[in-house]
Amino acid sequence: MKTLTGKELAAAIRAETAARVADGPQPRLAVVVATADEASLWYVRSIAKAASGVGIACDLADLGPGATATGIRETLERLSADPGVHGVMLQTPLPPGASAQELAAAIDPAKDVDGANPLSLGRLAAGLPAFAPATAAAVMALLDHYGVALEGRRTVVVGRSTVVGKPLAHLLLGRNATVTVCHSRTRDLAAVTSTAEVLVAAVGRAGLIGAEHVTPGAVVIDVGTNPTEDGGLAGDVDSAAVADRAGALTPVPGGVGPVTTALLLRHTAQAADLR
Ligand SMILES: NC(=O)C1=CN([C@@H]2O[C@H](COP(=O)(O)OP(=O)(O)OC[C@H]3O[C@@H](n4cnc5c(N)ncnc54)[C@H](OP(=O)(O)O)[C@@H]3O)[C@@H](O)[C@H]2O)C=CC1
Ligand SMILES: Nc1nc(=O)c2c([nH]1)NC[C@@H]1CN(c3ccc(C(=O)N[C@@H](CCC(=O)O)C(=O)O)cc3)C=[N+]21
């Protein structure tokens, strides 16, 4: 089995972004946070660090876990109207009573670098230019980087969230793949995923995908980032179990994650250019 690492691809995307940024005025990304979730805060810190590495300014608007939907909306509206800000991202999870889907409508689509505004998803579905959620874009970038053919091929996405599964299904359709989307109500998951030549797991359950879910030779992309008891990170795929069956697998950590962060920054540089 081949291991499809994301670190080199992420480094190449960051280098390309840094070169692009060096030519013009400094792009600015604003990240709105309203959570104490440790995994989420880790991601925010890694965005800030990577941004500074490529010459993008990163502002954190930390409203805290007690933030209200109104407070979050007003912050998103203010940042959307601020000509000095080029990218706006609303980090999830949000406090109870605040809906990411509803609030994301307050992000100017021109600054929606994580593709969270429903308008961005609609444009993506219609085949119009739009920012895709960085994670969905990262899956496509990894498939392209490793030369995985998509046209006409059977692809199965496990997970239908607005951040990953749904936008990814549209991106795959746009490349003429044959796409099946599974979720928690799917009957006999293994029977469906076994049809996949390309299988993407975006669920959030460590080790859900085992040998019985994978057909021999399949390319498997693991989006899951599940915290383990020892402070580590596990994917949705039981990598030891599928090692003898999969043709290729992305590792966790070191697979989709680093590419996601790099693409969020590329999107921010693009948003600054397009202004
Ligand atoms: N590396 C990265 O850049 C990123 C990683 N992630 C990770 O990806 C994973 C998914 O994230 P996200 O999409 O936000 O998660 P959500 O919880 O929003 O969605 C999970 C999806 O999985 C489905 N699901 C849950 N249990 C099962 C099951 N037993 N069988 C089949 N489907 C199931 C759900 O179905 P239903 O709709 O029916 O509830 C839902 O569609 C998480 O581990 C997250 O941490 C997320 C974003 C970025
Ligand atoms: N609006 C929104 N968009 C997101 O994209 C989003 C979000 N909210 N909320 C939280 C999740 C989680 N997420 C990760 C991204 C990168 C890594 C990543 O790079 N992880 C490293 C390892 C980290 C470690 O070792 O702890 C890796 O996979 O190599 C992880 C997790 C994006 N998310």
Q: Answer yes or no: same fold for 25-108 and 134-257.
A: yes
Residue 193 annotated in ligand binding: no
135-188 confidence digits (pLDDT tens): 999 999 999 999 999 999 999 999 999 999 999 999 999 999 999 999 999 999
Distance CA 257, CA 259 (A): 5
Closest ligand relative to 134 C-alpha: 2
Residue 99 annotated in ligand binding: no
Q: Which H or E element spans position 140?
A: helix 134-145
Distance CA 85, CA 236 (A): 35
pLDDT per residue of the chain (275 residues) written in tens, 0 to 9: 999 999 999 999 999 999 999 989 999 999 999 999 988 999 999 999 999 999 999 999 999 999 999 999 999 999 999 999 999 999 999 999 999 999 999 999 999 999 999 999 999 999 999 999 999 999 999 999 999 999 999 999 999 999 999 999 999 999 999 999 999 999 999 999 999 999 999 999 999 999 999 999 999 999 999 999 998 999 999 999 999 999 999 999 999 999 999 999 999 999 999 88
Nearest CA to ligand 1 atom 3: 257
Question: Both tokens of residue 39?
Answer: 């995994």
DSSP 231: S
Pick the CATH number of 25-108 from 3.40.50.150, 3.90.930.12, 3.40.50.10860, 3.90.1010.10: 3.40.50.10860
Give the CATH number of domain 134-257. 3.40.50.720
Question: Both tokens of residue 185?
Answer: 């109500």
Nearest CA to ligand 1 atom 16: 161
260 in ligand 1 pocket by Cβ < 6 Å? yes
For residue 19, count other CB atoms closer than 10 A to its CB: 12
CB 111, CB 91: distance < 8 Å: no
For residue 197, which of 236, 163, 245, 234 has the smallest C-alpha distance?
245
Distance CA 161, CA 145 (A): 24
260, 261, 264, 267, best to mutate for ligand 2 pocket (most atoms within 8 Å of CB): 260
CB 132, CB 156: distance < 8 Å: no
Domain ranges of the chain: 25-108, 134-257
For residue 125, count other CB atoms closer than 10 A to its CB: 16
Q: Which H or E element spans position 221?
A: strand 219-222
Helices 165-174 and 134-145 pack at an angle, to 10 degrees, of 40
Amino acid at 88: V
